[in-house]
């Protein structure tokens, strides 16, 4: 947490001193989360999540800048099957603090300005739950703290800034995030990968 705060403060200070433009705002959206077990015979879990938070948009050159988001994101992974002919299911929900630090290339157009994003993300697990239903019996519980991790991901995406008034714009965006350290240390003998499709809408106000 301290490292994340330090990065955000340094970028904010750099933007105010050296930046050609600086905007702040809010982001909200949904995600499609996939937990894929690489072992043969183990099923893939997937479901929809949601999230939102703060957006810092820093322009160092007219067409080049950095976007830093500080987001609360709830990722959900579900699987449905059968046990002895009866429906069964497992739902894993993990709530995260996600901080993408993304290089942003903006095309120079007037009212609608497309942009492209690329860069790393920090994914810190805050808490989570597991719910299992077998033979009509449902049990649920919290994921223990020793199984919560801090992961590092990579995001790539595209969107567009749509001008509303002179200082304000709306930005729909689509991103793909791959968790580079998705393997859980406590899941011995099982290899897995985690990735997410992110759909968001940002509202930003230009300060500088």
Which residue, 7, 113, 97, is CA-closest to 56? 7
Q: 51: which strand partners? A: 29, 73
First to last CA, the chain: 28
pLDDT in tens, the chain (208 residues): 555 556 555 655 555 555 567 889 999 999 999 988 765 656 788 999 999 999 988 888 878 888 999 999 999 999 887 777 778 888 999 999 999 999 999 887 777 889 999 999 999 999 999 999 888 889 999 999 888 889 999 999 999 988 877 788 899 999 999 998 876 665 554 557 888 999 999 999 888 6
The whole model's pTM is what? 0.83
Q: Distance between CA 57 and CA 12 in Å, rounded?
A: 9
C-alpha distances (whole Å) from 47 to each of 25, 44, 111, 159, 184 are 28, 10, 35, 23, 19
Which residue, 205, 202, 183, is CA-closest to 194? 183
Residue 169 in contact with residue 204, Cβ under 8 Å? Answer: yes
Q: Distance between CA 75 and CA 129 in Å, rounded?
A: 11
- The pairing of strands 21-37 and 112-134 is unpaired
The CATH code of the domain at 2-206 is 2.40.160.20
């Amino acid at each position: 947490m301290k490292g994340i705060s330090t990065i955000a403060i340094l970028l904010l200070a750099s933007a105010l001193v050296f930046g050609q433009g600086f905007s702040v705002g809010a982001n909200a959206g949904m995600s499609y989360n996939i937990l894929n077990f690489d072992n043969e015979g183990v099923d893939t879990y997937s479901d929809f999540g949601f999230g939102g938070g703060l957006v810092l948009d820093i322009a160092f050159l007219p067409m080049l800048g950095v976007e830093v988001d500080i987001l609360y994101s709830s990722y959900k992974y579900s699987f449905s099957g059968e046990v002895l002919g009866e429906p069964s299911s497992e739902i894993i929900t993990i709530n995260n603090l996600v901080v993408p630090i993304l290089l942003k290339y903006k095309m120079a157009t007037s009212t609608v300005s497309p942009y492209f994003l690329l860069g790393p993300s920090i994914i810190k697990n805050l808490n989570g739950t597991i719910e299992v239903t077998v033979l009509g019996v449902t049990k649920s519980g919290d994921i223990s703290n020793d199984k919560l991790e801090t992961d590092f991901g990579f995001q790539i995406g595209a969107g567009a800034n749509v001008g509303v008034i002179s200082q304000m714009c709306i930005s729909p965006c689509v991103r793909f995030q791959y968790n580079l350290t998705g393997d859980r240390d406590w899941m011995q003998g099982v290899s897995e990968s985690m990735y997410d499709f992110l759909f968001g809408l940002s509202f930003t106000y230009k300060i500088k």
